[in-house]
Amino acid sequence: MKRIRIPGLLDIVVSADSREIETLAEDPKLDRAYRDLSLPLNRYVLKRVRKALQIDGKPLPTVAARDAEGRATAQSALWNRLNALAPHLSEGPDELESLAAYVRGTGLADACGPLVQQVVGRLFISDFEATSASWNAAVVLDKAPRTMNPVLLAWWAVTKRVDYAKRLLSRMVGGDLAGVHAVGIALHNIVSGVKVMRQLFNDPSERIALSPKAAGARCLFAPDSVLRQPTAPVRSVKEELTTKTLVLLKLQAANTNSGNGDIVFLRETWSRCPAEQWVPALLEGIWQRACRFPSKSASQGDTSGCPFAPPESSD
């Protein structure tokens, strides 16, 4: 755990340790209410994040307070809905063919984003069609709370790019705030995973060795970090945290260091991701399907080593 503190100005604690993160994430006092704005630099960070991740004053679910009205009910309803879809998805249904083709090596390496966005968008609107505009909007929205580039920030302020991105994505998912989060922000973690899966599939030894579950697990990426602030002093970790402190939980670094899959989705915590079963099932399904029809491969000669491929006639 590291602390950056300038008395009267800034107090930020950063943790990339999976045990520490589990302790902090389970603590209901570590919230996303972000009420204490008394330190100017903390206030600047919080205002940036909140402004970027709200639509018409309503926060996206990942920056909503634990006890925000309707949050927990919506989280649990989405969790149930996505879990019901997961078993079928993990079998590699037809709807995953374009992503499976990408993993087999078809198309350009950067074609992945819109393909993922379409599959995620269809969870919310059945005929969701990803376009270059919707993908660009997702790229902008992902950067918006994090960039410190003053030129980019000034340009976005003039052109209202972030507002435009949010409104476009919101329209495309019927105004569902979890949907905006999914097609604008969460999908980037899946895109990172599918890109790694393409590399794994391209390596004959990995293709032979990996079961769909193992391949999916190798391709899980967590959000870089999530932001919390205590609603009351916290003494359960090395540093004492006050209500002024901002706490940055570096999930992907902790995932890389520990391989703890629970950290990726903050499972077993009040803010657990509703897609914690759906995403692993999606990755498993893509690998399963890429292996099932390896002869569709555009760029790889040697696909015969895929142990999950049934006889050729099954295509």
* Only segment of 6-14, 208-216, 265-273, 284-292 that touches ligand HEM (CB under 6 A): 265-273
- Please give the distance of CA 291 from its chain centroid, rounded to a whole number: 25
Is the CB of 164 or the CB of 270 nearer to ligand HEM? 270
Is the CB of 221 or the CB of 308 nearer to ligand HEM? 221
In angstroms, rounded to a whole number, what is the distance separating the alpha carbons of residues 186 and 1? 26
**Does 96 sit near ligand HEM (CB under 6 A)?**
no
**Does 191 sit near ligand HEM (CB under 6 A)?**
no
DSSP string, 178-207: HHHHIIIIIHHHHHHHHHHHHHHHHSHHHH
Is the CB of 42 or the CB of 75 nearer to ligand HEM? 75
Maximum pairwise Cα distance, the chain: 71
Q: Shortest approach of ligand HEM to residue 9 CB, angstroms? A: 25
Q: Shortest approach of ligand HEM to residue 141 CB, angstroms? A: 14
Which residue, 189, 188, 193, is CA-closest to 222?
A: 189
Q: Shortest approach of ligand HEM to residue 79 CB, angstroms? A: 9
Position 38: which residue type?
S
Distances (CA, A) of 250 to 147, 149, 180, 228, 256: 16, 21, 23, 11, 10
Burial level of 284, CB count in 10 A (0-12/13-18/19+)?
A: buried
**Does 266 sit near ligand HEM (CB under 6 A)?**
yes
DSSP string, 222-288: --S-EEEEESS-B-SSSS-B-TT-EEEE-HHHHHHHH--HHHHHTTTSTT--TTTTHHHHHHHHHHH
Q: Shortest approach of ligand HEM to residue 220 CB, angstroms? A: 6
Q: Fill in the per-residue mask, 37 to 76: x = in contact with ligand HEM (CB under 6 A), - = not in contact.
A: ------------------------xx--------x---x-
Among 141, 172, 215, 226, binds ligand HEM (CB under 6 A): 226
Q: Fill in the per-residue mask, 101 to 120: x = in contact with ligand HEM (CB under 6 A), - = not in contact.
A: -------------------x
Binding site for ligand HEM (CB under 6 A): 61-62, 71, 75, 78, 120, 123, 178, 181-182, 186, 189-190, 221-223, 226, 251, 264-266, 271, 273-275, 279
